[in-house]
Amino acid sequence: MWLEEQIQSGILPSGADQFNSLQDKLEQAFRELLLPNPFYFASVKESAEDKGTVHYLMDLATQSGMDARYVAVEDIGEVDGQMVDLENNPIEGLFKLYPWEFMVQEEFARVLYTSRTKILEPGWKMLLSNKGILPLLWQRYPNHPNLLPAYFEDEAKAPLNSGWVRKPLFSREGANIQLVDREGQHLAADGPYGEGRFIRQEFSPLPKFYDAGGGRETYALVGSWMVGDCAAGIGIREDSTLITKNSSRFVPHIILD
């Protein structure tokens, strides 16, 4: 919508484009995946942001012909080993905006072994969200051009002479990140993930830009969206520091020939 408005107002040329097919690919996925119907979408009650995201996905699923229903994570129950909603209807399919690593440590986790519920995203995604995969990949593929040196903090490791970043195994949006840059300057962010194991990864600085309009320096990070096996677009986050936090700006982009 931002892109369309900028073109209509003459600020951007008519040929401007974005790498953003996220909505189209999500609608296609809901049409093509063999998902149970009705299909439930869940988030925690107190998070307006999470609920907004879930309702957006529900709208896409409804447009794709699905019977999309909302249930709060806290309201999911159990009957005879099966997940159910507040009316004890079986939940055969579920998208949950709630971390797997939280769920498997809770008492309710035992239901995961008995329930017939098909869950998106699947449980194996825990491997990708666990930063312990980074030192394991470095052990398996040392000096690979797409990897940075990484080690478990409580194990013997080679020195990281060009700076380092300390990360909890489970952390989001920059929480509990510490770093030392190439000049030896320290930077840290608070958060709720201070317990447990950490990794250290070689420091690799984000590109720095100058925002003339805001009169400030910013650091940009590009995140990619995947739907199924296909790239579906990019999102750009900007922060005033090298740690991209939950308070960072989400900025649009354009592609020009």
- Per-residue pLDDT tens digits for 53-97: 999 999 999 999 999 999 999 999 999 999 999 999 999 999 999
Of 61, 93, 127, which one is at a domain's C-terminal end?
A: 127
Any domain includes 246: yes
Give the pLDDT confidence of 167-219 residue by residue, as tens digits. 999 988 999 999 999 999 999 999 998 888 999 999 999 999 987 777 888 99
Any domain includes 141: yes
Residue 121 has pLDDT above 80, yes or no: yes
- Distance, in Å, from the CA atom of 221 to the CA atom of 208, rounded to the nearest integer, reads 10
Same domain, 182 and 211: no
Any domain includes 161: yes
pLDDT of 162 reads: 85
Same domain, 155 and 81: no
Same domain, 75 and 137: no
Same domain, 48 and 115: yes
Q: Residue 92: how many CA atoms within 13 Å on its side-chain side? A: 8
**How does 78-115 read in b/e, with b if 16+ C-beta sit within 10 Å?**
eeeebbbbeeeebbbbbbbbbebeebeeeeeeebeeeb
Same domain, 156 and 171: yes
Same domain, 214 and 144: no
Same domain, 94 and 116: yes
**Number of domains into which the chain is organized:** 3
Same domain, 163 and 228: no
Residue 39, Cβ neighbours under 10 Å: how many? Answer: 22
pLDDT of 155 reads: 83
Same domain, 58 and 97: yes
Stronger pLDDT, 194 or 111, i.e. the higher one: 111
Question: Structural domain of residue 89, as residue ranges?
Answer: 37-127
- Distance, in Å, from the CA atom of 235 to the CA atom of 128, rounded to the nearest integer, reads 19
pLDDT of 17 reads: 94
pLDDT of 136 reads: 96
Query: Percentage of the chain with pLDDT > 90?
Result: 82
The residue-averaged pLDDT of 245-249 equals 92
Best-predicted range by mean pLDDT (1-10, 100-109, 154-163): 1-10
Any domain includes 152: yes
pLDDT of 222 reads: 93
The residue-averaged pLDDT of 228-235 equals 92
pLDDT of 190 reads: 93
- Distance, in Å, from the CA atom of 250 to the CA atom of 241, rounded to the nearest integer, reads 14
Same domain, 44 and 118: yes
Any domain includes 31: no
Residue 231 neighbours by CB under 8 Å, 6+ apart:
224, 225
Residue 22 has pLDDT above 90, yes or no: yes
Q: How confident is the model at residue 228 (pLDDT cuts 50, 70, 90)?
A: confident
Any domain includes 32: no
Q: How confident is the model at residue 158 (pLDDT cuts 50, 70, 90)?
A: confident
Predicted TM-score (pTM) of this structure: 0.87
Same domain, 236 and 220: yes
Any domain includes 240: yes
Residue 159 has pLDDT above 80, yes or no: no
Same domain, 109 and 150: no
Average pLDDT across the chain, whole number? 93
Of 127, 149, 166, which one is at a domain's C-terminal end?
A: 127
Any domain includes 29: no
Of 67, 102, 127, which one is at a domain's C-terminal end?
A: 127
